[in-house]
Amino acid sequence: MATAYTPTVYGTGIKATVQRLGGRLAGMIMPNIGAFIAWGLITALFIDTGWLPNATLAELVDPILKYLLPVLIGYTGGRMVHDQRGAVVGAVATMGVVVGSDVPMFLGAMIVGPLAAYLIKLVDGFTESRTRAGFEMLVDNFSAGIVGAAMAVLGALGIGPVVQVFTTAAGNGVEWLLHHNLLPVASVLIEPAKVLFLNNAINHGVLTPLGSAEVADQGKSILFMLESNPGPGLGLLLAYLFFGPRSMRSTTPASMVIHFFGGIHEIYFPYVLMKPRLILAVVAGGAAGVFTFVVTGAGLVAAPSPGSILAYMAMTPRGGYFGVIAGVLAATVVSFAVAAVLLGFGRGSDDETPGGTPAAESTETAETTGPTGPTGATGAAAATETRDGIEPQQAGTTHTITDKDGAPVMKEA
């Protein structure tokens, strides 16, 4: 087990912290993906180059992008900090940064929404015990109104212009990477981070806001496809289907459907975590996909979320199918090929006894064959000694975590 979870770069504590921070960023975007998709559909259909050009309906495009989406993000960010009151103040404050800049203010909304909510939370804490009976509603309404108005002014004059500089700089950075063909290198960071469950943090915390700003300029963005390409995961699962441990093969087709069509990429993370060297396969696949997207000038009009091939097709601009499909295919083929090599084309998998449950079996294999033999053996021994069937899992898990922290092994179990 110690070998099965090999997130070596981060200690467990840091990993959880990074996950949590990223989760907060993503948490402001993800509940609003429906609005992003609505906007993507309207854009793909009604702009000049769309499927059904219509000048009247195309009027929807700009206000949704510049006002509705940032305000929704600021609202959601505020709600995360201080429920409904935080949401309202966050939304008002977001209007400040929206008006205070010329670019779509996703980043600004992600900053000012929670910040304004935090302020009203502080104010509420201060006034709550000091408000005379019967004056609560008056105080509550006006404190929210005053904080909201103040934050909107601050946003328009101070925060908006500053964030605009950052947004522009980030956009230029991406442009630079694109022009120098360096974007595929991003996969080296993205794919490992993904299987550490930072997938939402990266995609929705960072790439969706940047990509949406780029769409405003260019009508499509490649940034939506860096993390969400279902190709690398599909290639990996295909390799498992043909060359993986025999016991794993039966669940793989269902995983492929959930991954590729359902867009739930989490389903393949365990397959990588079980045999960490397979990270090379998804990195190579991801890079091949991005490279193909760059070469063919592919892009999507909005975030394809979840990362399903169906979402990809729905978010592809008219005439852009070749590059998008080619990139997904290239990623699948490369990831499959590398994973197949790393799995030794199925050699050595036959000696694992069939029967028994897949995870238990592969877990045991990992434990007994892993480089950290002694500690792994401890975990396995503990697992066999425990009477309760749930315990081996728990024991192994605890073992892994404490082992990395350097704390006493098996402390909790």
* Contacting positions for another protein (CB under 8 A): 4-5, 7, 12-13, 15-16, 19-20, 23-24, 26-27, 30-31, 196-197, 199-201, 251, 254-255, 258, 262-264, 266-267, 269-270, 273-274, 306, 357-360, 363, 388-394, 397, 400-401, 412-413
Smaller CB separation from another protein, 107 or 237: 237
Closest distance between another protein and the C-beta of residue 57, in Å?
Answer: 29
Smaller CB separation from another protein, 127 or 397: 397
Inter-CA distances, 79 with 70, 91, 94, 163, Å: 14, 10, 13, 22
- Residue appearing with tokens 């915390």: 205
Can you give the three-state secondary structure of 195-264, one letter per residue? HHHHHHHHHHHHHHHHHHHHHHHHCCECCHHHHHCCHHHHHHHHHHHHHCCHHHCCCHHHHHHHHHCCCC
* β partners of residue 300: 221
The rounded distance, in Å, linking the Cα atoms of 359 and 13 is 25
Smaller CB separation from another protein, 242 or 269: 269
The rounded distance, in Å, linking the Cα atoms of 5 and 363 is 10
Closest distance between another protein and the C-beta of residue 160, in Å?
Answer: 28
Report the sign of the C-alpha dihedral through residues 344, 348, 350, 352, in that order.
Answer: negative
Contact 259, 240 (CB under 8 A): no
Smaller CB separation from another protein, 20 or 277: 20
Closest distance between another protein and the C-beta of residue 216, in Å?
Answer: 25
Closest distance between another protein and the C-beta of residue 392, in Å?
Answer: 8
Q: Is the peptide bond before 114 cis (omega within 30 degrees of 0)?
A: no
Smaller CB separation from another protein, 221 or 400: 400
Closest distance between another protein and the C-beta of residue 245, in Å?
Answer: 12
Smaller CB separation from another protein, 7 or 171: 7
